[in-house]
Structure 1
Amino acid sequence: MATYRELFAYREFRYLYGGQVLSYLGDQVAAVAVAVLVFDRTNSALLSAVAYASSWLPGVLGGPVLSTYADRLPRRSVLIVCDLARAALIALVAVPGLPLWVAIVLLYAAHLFSPPFVAARAALMPEMLPGEAYIAGNGLSNITSQLSQLFGFVAGGVIVAAVGPVWSLLGNAATFVASALLISAGLARRPAPTLSGETTGLLAQSRDGIRYILADPWLRTCLALVWVASAFSFAPEAIAYPWADSLGGGPAQAGLLLAAPSAGFLLGAILLTRVLSPETRDRVLRPAAVLSTVALVPALLDPGLPVVLLLLAAAGLGASFIVPLNAIFVRRVAPEFRGRAMGVAASGLLVVQGLAFLAAGAAVQAGLSPSTVVGLSGLLGTAAVLVTRMARVPARADS
């Protein structure tokens, strides 16, 4: 079992991870800055939401196609170009006096470069880190992402309040430039991975990637398990504030409801990628997926806040099965399809989570109590996870 410290013995990982940390920090500050910038100019919550949606909507609509570039072009080049493009576009958003509609268009354009970047980074990781080091490296990346969400928004609010949204956006642009420089300096040049015998059109190659996944029973059932479990286990996030209100609390309690699953997820990611042996880890992946939803079922009894927080933490602990399973998924995919496979996986995850958020909100709006909605989400999710049968981890995934 590789330790997190041992990962930094790999030169390429050090540089790629350094760029990742910078980008995560910059993105959290920028998310707050965008909300402040748009709301200050328009006093419109709707337009603020439209601008905020730029961070995920491009991935939903264009992820499978745009991620194909991670298989068509040298992946190091994809990473650098995406970082520099995002830096330029985010810097333009910060230009004083820019028409609001132009700023929103630029935001969406900037986030169009995220799917190929994420796909290229995920596809390169197995080439940088051998064996169990890759599982640990993927775990560390996910833990870093969760920590940035736990603390980044708080820090982002402080920074935006101190320097203003314009300088905060420029700081985000600077983190992308720094990431590009680190990648340029630390990553080896590799040729584009696409086989010469493949079709050459972008859409055709995207379609080939989807067909590749669907043709492999393990890959498609793996995706189904991740999508189903994530949709139901993360649905409570959409109704955190009304749930806190029904429990007699307010924004502070809503923050606790949002933080509890992340805390459980962090603990689970550490256990699954650092503490448990590979054999034990592989055996508990499916039980952990069941835990991610069944832990929500007791919410039907409408317990108090302390019990609710424990239930959400347990659900987050179970949901961490995604971390090692994601690494196993990528390693099973043939190298020339890894970018497209990650594009399909990420886009599907955004879609099912978005639909689950909408369903949870609509159910509360229709008159169900938040506790009932969360408990029913747990029941339905458990049933869906149990019928999503996945074979044991394949031997070639461990090669």
Structure 2
Amino acid sequence: MATYRELFGFREFRFLYAGQVLSYLGDQVAAVAVAVLVFDRTDSALLSAIAYASAWLPGVFGGPILSTYADRLPRRAVLIGCDIARAALIALVAVPGLPLWVAIVLLYAAHLFSPPFVAARAAIMPEVLPGEAYIAGNGLSNITSQLGQLFGFVAGGVIVAAVGPVWSLLGNAVTFVLSALLIAAGIVHRPAALPEGSPEGLLAQTRDGFRYILADPWLRTCLALVWVASAFSFAPEAIAYPYAVTLGGGPAAAGLLLAAPCVGFLLGAIVFTRVVTPETRERLLRPAALLSTLALTPALAHPGLPVVLLLLVLAGAGASFIVPLNAVFVRRVAPEFRGRAMGVASSGLLVGQGLAFLAAGAAVQAGLTPATVAGLSGLLGTAAVLTVRRAPTPIEARIP
């Protein structure tokens, strides 16, 4: 089993990982900067939310189509091109005096380049890291993202307060440029995954990607399990503040409620990628998916804050089954379909979580207590996970 230290013995991974860290930290700071910039100019929470939503809405509606470019074009070129495009567009958002509607349009345009970038990076990783090293590398990337979530927003608030939103956005643009330079210097050129001169157009190739996934029972089962479990297990995040208030806390308690699943996810990802054997990992994937939702059901008893935090840590630990399963998913997909497969997977994940967030918020608005909503999310999620049938073959057995 590969250690995290051994991963950095692979030259291409070092450059990919460094680029990921840079751009992710820049994004976290920019998320705070955008909210501050828009709210300061308009005093409108709605417009601030619309701008903030630019980080995920493009992936929902354009992910599967835009991710097709990760198969149509050389993936190194896609990574570099997306970084340069995002750097330019984010830098334009920081231009003083820019009309607000133009700034929001530019934000959405910048985030349109995220789906092909994420798809290209995911598709190239199995070519950079062999065997179990890929499982560990995928786990380290997810752990890094979770750590970024835990500390990024705090650091972002400090940085934005110190230098202001405009300079913070320019800093984010610089991180994209640096990421592009690292990829250009450290990643080997590979030809496009799709055969050169393929007669099909973009939409036809996107449709082929959907058909490829739907034709494979294991891939369908994998996506259904991930989408269902993640939607229900993370739904309580949408009601963290009202939940904290009912528990006698305030913003600090809400922060703990949001951080608890991240802590569990981090611990679970480490166990799955560094502690257990591949055989044990395979046996634990489905029980972990069940844990991600089942752990929330005791919230129906309205326990106090310490118990709720423990439940959320357990749910996050269970949800970490996504980390190794994602790696197996990508390796199982034929190389020429990997970009499109990741586009479909990511978009479905965003849609499922977005709908679950809305449902949780609507349920509290309708009069249910946050504890009841969290517990019902766990109960319904457990039932949904149990309805997802098992894959027809062992998870690792038919990987090419």
Q: TM-score, length-normalised on structure 2?
A: 0.99
Counterpart position of 1:267: 267
Contact kept? 1:222, 1:329, Cα under 8 Å: yes
Counterpart position of 1:22: 22
What amino acid sits opposite 1:228 in the alignment? V
Q: How far did 1:198 drift?
A: 5.2
Q: How does 1:177-326 map to 2 (within 5 A)?
A: 177-195=177-195, 199-326=199-326
Q: Distance in 2 between matches of 1:196 and 1:40?
A: 50
Q: Distance in 1 between matches of 2:196 and 2:293?
A: 44
What amino acid sits opposite 1:108 in the alignment? Y
Counterpart position of 1:10: 10
**Cα deviation digits, residues 342-365 of structure 1 (max 9, x gap):** 000000000000000000000000
Counterpart position of 1:168: 168
Q: How does 1:1-399 map to 2 (within 5 A)?
A: 1-195=1-195, 199-391=199-391, 392-397=394-399
**Cα distance, 1:381–1:197 mapped onto 2, change above 3 Å:** farther
Q: Distance in 2 between matches of 1:91 and 1:389?
A: 47
Contact kept? 1:268, 1:320, Cα under 8 Å: yes
What amino acid sits opposite 2:112 in the alignment? L
What amino acid sits opposite 1:78 in the alignment? V
Q: How far did 1:258 drift?
A: 0.3
What amino acid sits opposite 1:393 in the alignment? I
What amino acid sits opposite 2:59 in the alignment? G
Contact kept? 1:142, 1:323, Cα under 8 Å: yes
**Cα deviation digits, residues 242-267 of structure 1 (max 9, x gap):** 00011111000000000000000000
Secondary structure (helix, strand or coil) at the match of 1:192 reads: coil
Q: How far did 1:200 drift?
A: 2.0
Contact kept? 1:60, 1:350, Cα under 8 Å: yes
Q: How far did 1:195 drift?
A: 3.0
Q: How far did 1:396 drift?
A: 2.8
**Cα deviation digits, residues 308-359 of structure 1 (max 9, x gap):** 0000000000000000000000000000000000000000000000000000
Q: Distance in 1 between matches of 2:127 and 2:179?
A: 19
What's the % identity of the aligned pairs? 84
Q: Distance in 2 between matches of 1:309 and 1:267?
A: 15
Q: How far did 1:395 drift?
A: 1.3
Secondary structure (helix, strand or coil) at the match of 1:340 reads: helix
What amino acid sits opposite 2:341 in the alignment? A
What amino acid sits opposite 1:205 in the alignment? Q
**Cα deviation digits, residues 176-224 of structure 1 (max 9, x gap):** 0000000000000000010358552000000000000000000011000
Task: Structure 2 unaligned segments of length 5 or more: list them.
Answer: none
Contact kept? 1:7, 1:13, Cα under 8 Å: yes
What amino acid sits opposite 1:187 in the alignment? I
Q: Distance in 1 between matches of 2:48 and 2:387?
A: 39
What amino acid sits opposite 1:45 in the alignment? A
Secondary structure (helix, strand or coil) at the match of 2:245 reads: helix
Contact kept? 1:85, 1:110, Cα under 8 Å: yes
Q: Distance in 1 between matches of 2:89 and 2:395?
A: 42
Q: How far did 1:390 drift?
A: 2.4
What amino acid sits opposite 2:252 in the alignment? A
Q: Distance in 2 between matches of 1:198 and 1:89?
A: 31
Contact kept? 1:38, 1:100, Cα under 8 Å: yes
Q: How far did 1:387 drift?
A: 1.1
Secondary structure (helix, strand or coil) at the match of 1:95 reads: coil
Q: Distance in 2 between matches of 1:322 and 1:232?
A: 14
What amino acid sits opposite 2:398 in the alignment? R
The alignment of Structure 1 onto Structure 2 pairs a total of residues equal to 398
Contact kept? 1:235, 1:356, Cα under 8 Å: yes
Secondary structure (helix, strand or coil) at the match of 1:234 reads: helix
Q: Distance in 1 between matches of 2:123 and 2:76?
A: 11
**Cα deviation digits, residues 136-180 of structure 1 (max 9, x gap):** 000000000000000000000000000000000000000000000
Secondary structure (helix, strand or coil) at the match of 1:249 reads: coil
Q: TM-score, length-normalised on structure 1?
A: 0.99
Secondary structure (helix, strand or coil) at the match of 1:188 reads: coil
What amino acid sits opposite 1:292 in the alignment? S
Q: Distance in 1 between matches of 2:71 and 2:292?
A: 33
Q: How far did 1:22 drift?
A: 0.0
What amino acid sits opposite 2:36 in the alignment? V
**Cα deviation digits, residues 3-62 of structure 1 (max 9, x gap):** 000000000000010000000110000000000000000000000000000000000000
Q: Distance in 2 between matches of 1:311 and 1:161?
A: 34
Q: Distance in 1 between matches of 2:154 and 2:131?
A: 36
Secondary structure (helix, strand or coil) at the match of 2:249 reads: coil
Q: How far did 1:394 drift?
A: 3.6
Contact kept? 1:262, 1:313, Cα under 8 Å: yes
RMSD, aligned α-carbons? 0.8
Larger mean CA deviation between 195-204 and 136-145 belongs to 195-204
Q: Distance in 2 between matches of 1:197 and 1:133?
A: 34
